[in-house]
Amino acid sequence: MSNISIEEVQAKMLECKVEPSLVQRVITELEKVVEEIKEEKESTKEPKQKYEHVIVLYDKENVLEGKEIAGWVVQKPYDDDANLILSKLADAAKAQNEVTKKKKNRIDDLVSLFEHLKSKFTKEKKVKIKTKELTSVIITNGKLL
């Protein structure tokens, strides 16, 4: 099915010497049909599926079996040392606290750091926070079944 604009239909009808009042009625009816189709699409459209991050943790010796663990997802440059992430985040939080005028918005713990730290301060440290809320961690021993 090809898409033809209403203006093209109107031009063709006038070109074929169809009475202008009839052309206007047909165009009005076509516009109503277009509106009905749009409303039908809107009403049947399903809400967009939301996704969340999940971390899969490899536990070969089953040391963490039965424990519930959650965390945050952070991105760093490939060559940077992963052990420096917490110190970089702490430095970014200190920088934000120095600039923040309201004491209410101060970052004092890890939860408030991930919830309120602005990307402006993490960019300077070359760290990206990917999740603001705690993320589930799934523990596996490496076997599929």
Please give the structure tokens belonging to residue 119. 């990307």
pLDDT at 63: 85
Q: Which residues, 6+ apart, have CB-to-CB distance to 85 below 8 Å?
A: 74, 76, 127
pLDDT at 11: 87
pLDDT at 145: 63
Q: State how far the Cα of 93 lies from the Cα of 127, in Å rounded to an integer.
A: 12
The structural domains of the chain, with segments of one domain joined by +, span 6-44, 54-140
pLDDT at 121: 92
- Residue 71: exposure state from Cβ atoms within 10 A (0-12, 13-18, ≥19): middle
Residue ranges for the chain with pLDDT beneath 50: none
pLDDT at 87: 92
pTM exceeds cut of 0.85:
no
